[in-house]
Structure 1
Amino acid sequence: MKNPIWFIFWLLILIFISFFVAFLGAFFYIFLYMLEACCGCWNGINNFLLKCIQFPHFCAEAMLQCRSPC
């Protein structure tokens, strides 16, 4: 049986942290993605920012599966 405490934990992370992280990641991703076309050195940073943008999706999946963070 899945632990409902993890559901609440991921819900709080989703509401209070992940949207803020995704917003900041998207803001910088838009500008750096244009620079990546000129210089490939931004590729690693853009991959990290893309993961930040996808963080709410990760939290929602973990919430529905009641997955522990470890």
Structure 2
Amino acid sequence: MHADIHLALHAGRAAELRREAGEFRLPRTRLRTRVGWTMVEVGLRPARSGPTTTCAQTFRTA
């Protein structure tokens, strides 16, 4: 493939990706909500407000 053809194909694809990126907009939400959902997607648990129980308080084996 000639360099000029490769460059033309690349420029066309780059323009298409820029157009698609311009059309895609995330809804405006609060930062805490966005960070929480990002953590869920990654597999982490968001920190909860309020009292928490430890494993020793929840599970008693003896």
What is the TM-score when the length of structure 2 is the normalising length? 0.32
Report which structure shows greater RCO (CA 8 Å, sep ≥6): 1
What is the TM-score when the length of structure 1 is the normalising length? 0.29
- Larger Cα Rg: Structure 1 or Structure 2? 2
Which is richer in helix? 1
